[in-house]
């Protein structure tokens, strides 16, 4: 081969070499793209299940249990504060005045702030206290003074078993008073249909002013109507008396009982009403 031919072949060989190199690079690149998987989009990627992503099933739900039945707590009785007391000098005392207490439902304490046992309610203790609607009297009480609840708006009165004395007009002029109930164990007082009597049923002590009835049955055993027992009891119009005219006229009627005196008296024998009535 001549020198001139060799010189002509050199460019051809160089170009062929470059082509081979470039071809190899292209082939290698294509092979690499086939072997490597394409990156998954976030929406296509498999998300591993965790405690937050797992859907709850019926078997995974906690079992519902019924709450244990519990008895309701007993109400806490808190005695009224602000009442004034007067000592009897023997370790006992009584309520002398309502003082600064403004409770509508007054609960008397068992003992005063000085430790003395409360055994009574004094004269005029709650007189004309218009905000007083109810008073809970403890079983320790021995007496209720005169005018003790006069002019108040109490609705019901309860006389405990140990009460030995109720003063004059203690429950008088109470326009809202509907019933007076006496403990059956009380040896001094009793009640019939909400009306206060002595234990022997011979004296009517107090007819509740707010009693919503226009008639009253009275036994022939009644001998006395205490002073102001029927004070301002304007609803009462008829007295059904189980006795004779002469025995009714022998009943001693105290002052302040105009309602009783002005009522129509009907004389009954058992459940039978006589035709004769007088005013």
Gyration radius of the chain's alpha carbons: 50
pLDDT in tens, the chain (279 residues): 555 555 565 666 666 666 665 666 655 565 555 554 444 444 444 444 544 445 555 555 556 666 666 666 666 678 899 999 999 999 999 999 999 999 999 999 999 999 999 999 999 999 999 889 999 888 889 999 999 999 999 999 999 999 999 999 999 999 999 999 999 999 999 999 999 999 999 999 999 999 999 999 999 999 999 999 999 999 999 999 999 999 999 999 999 999 999 999 999 876 444 444 555
Structure tokens at 139: 């079983």
pLDDT in tens, 35-59: 544 444 444 444 445 444 455 555 5
List the one residue out of 250, 230, 227, 252 whose CA is nearest residue 239. 230
Q: Does residue 30 sit within a domain?
A: no
The answer to whether the beta carbons of residues 164 and 143 sit under 8 Å apart is yes
CA gap 170, 70 in Å, rounded: 44
The SS3 of residue 182 is strand
pLDDT at position 130 is: 87
Q: Does residue 153 sit within a domain?
A: yes
Q: Does residue 1 sit within a domain?
A: no
CATH of the domain at 143: 3.80.10.10
Phi-psi category of 250—alpha, beta or left, where left has phi over 0 and alpha has psi -120 to 50? Answer: alpha
Q: Does residue 54 sit within a domain?
A: no
CA gap 91, 96 in Å, rounded: 16
Contacts of 125 (CB under 8 A, 6+ apart): 94, 95, 96, 97, 98, 145, 148
The structural domain count of the chain equals: 1
pTM of the full structure: 0.70
Q: Does residue 123 sit within a domain?
A: yes
Q: Does residue 85 sit within a domain?
A: yes
Domain housing 142: 77-177
Q: Does residue 189 sit within a domain?
A: no
User: What is the four-CA torsion angle of 15, 18, 23, 29, rounded to 10 degrees?
Assistant: -160
């Amino acid at each position: 081969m001549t020198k001139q031919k060799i010189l002509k072949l050199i460019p051809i060989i160089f170009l062929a070499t470059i082509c081979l190199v470039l071809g190899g690079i292209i082939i290698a690149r294509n092979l690499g793209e086939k072997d490597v998987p394409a990156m998954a989009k976030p929406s296509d990627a498999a998300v591993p299940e965790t405690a937050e992503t797992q859907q709850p099933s019926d078997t995974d739900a906690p079992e519902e249990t019924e709450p244990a039945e519990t008895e309701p707590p007993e109400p806490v009785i808190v005695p009224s504060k602000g009442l004034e007391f007067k000592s009897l000098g023997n370790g006992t005392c009584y309520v002398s005045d309502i003082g600064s207490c403004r409770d509508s439902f007054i609960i008397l304490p068992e003992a005063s702030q000085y430790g003395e046992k409360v055994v009574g309610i004094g004269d005029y203790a709650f007189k004309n206290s218009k905000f007083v609607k109810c008073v809970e009297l403890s079983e320790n009480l021995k007496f209720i003074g005169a005018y003790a609840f006069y002019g108040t708006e109490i609705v019901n009165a309860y006389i405990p078993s140990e009460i030995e004395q109720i003063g004059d007009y203690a429950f008088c002029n109470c326009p809202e008073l509907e019933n007076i109930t006496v403990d059956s164990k009380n040896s001094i007082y009793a009640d019939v249909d909400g009306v206060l009597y002595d234990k022997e049923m011979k004296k009517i002590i107090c007819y509740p002013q707010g009693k919503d009835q226009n008639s009253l049955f009275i036994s022939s055993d009644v001998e006395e109507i205490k002073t102001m027992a029927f004070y301002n009891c304007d609803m009462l119009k008829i007295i059904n008396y189980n006795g004779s005219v002469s025995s009714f006229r022998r009943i001693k009627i105290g002052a302040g009982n105009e309602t009783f005196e002005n009522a129509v008296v009907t004389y009954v024998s058992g459940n039978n009403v006589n035709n004769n009535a007088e005013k």
